[in-house]
Amino acid sequence: MIVETDDALPVRTSDDVVRVRQAVRARAVAAGFSLVDQTKIITAASEIARNTVDYGGGGTVRIETLRNGQRRGVRLTFADHGPGIADLKLAMTDGYTSGNGLGLGLSGAKRLVNEFDVTSAPGQGTTVTLARWK
């Protein structure tokens, strides 16, 4: 598998979330994603980016475009050094929310992508990796 592009962006403010969406869109379009696939990965990115800003105290995202033979994909790695998630299983269930939101961030985003991974522990920050393939 080849990594064709690799960019990093800060995810600290609401404006950064907008920039992340735009960057992910650009990569998804370049990778030839269909409109629906583009919408899914950008929406997933938006969800996790907001989590990073609202609950993670801000962090970074790494955006990679991948090529595996004929298939192309986009992989996002969000990382923060915030308080971490105490109960990961609970956080991944539908309807769970720690704020006053709809609580769909993680579980919802997972349904929008092909690959999803969360690593988190109290006091150790959170890393979320998502990838969508064409």
- Does 35 bind other proteins (CB under 8 A)? Our answer is yes
Determine contact, residues 116/109, Cβ cutoff 8 Å: yes
Q: CB of 42 within 8 A of CB of 28?
A: yes
Nearer of residues 69 and 123 to other proteins, judged by Cβ: 69
Strand partners, 72: 67
Residues 6+ apart with CB under 8 A from 92: 106, 107, 110, 118
69 in contact with other proteins (CB under 8 A): no
**Near other proteins by CB under 8 A: residue from 14, 68, 93, 114:** 14
Site residues for other proteins per CB under 8 A: 14-15, 17-18, 21-22, 25, 35-36, 38-40, 42-43, 46-47, 50, 70, 94, 101-102, 104-105, 107-109, 111-112
